[in-house]
Amino acid sequence: MNTDLLLPAFIFVLVRAQVQHLGAEIRLIADFCAEQLASGGQVELMFTLLYSAYIQVGREKSSP
């Protein structure tokens, strides 16, 4: 499956979850799971999608 098709789903879940400090939680995951994220595979893909969705939501919030 193309990851571009999954990004809108990740954005939807992020917005609906209303996580208060998502940026801090993403950094925490990156710090403690660096070894797993560097190894590649599905875990890295999902983390990259999560981070991309977070960036996209932040851009949409800041644009008029």
Give the span between the Cα atoms of 64 and 61, in whole angstroms.
Answer: 8
Q: CA Rg, the chain, in Å?
A: 12
pLDDT of 62: 80
pLDDT of 54: 92
The predicted model scores a pTM of: 0.81
First to last CA, the chain: 33
When the pLDDT of each residue in the chain is averaged and rounded to a whole number, the result is: 87
> Under a CB-based contact definition with an 8 Å cutoff, are residues 60 and 7 in contact?
no
pLDDT of 1: 61
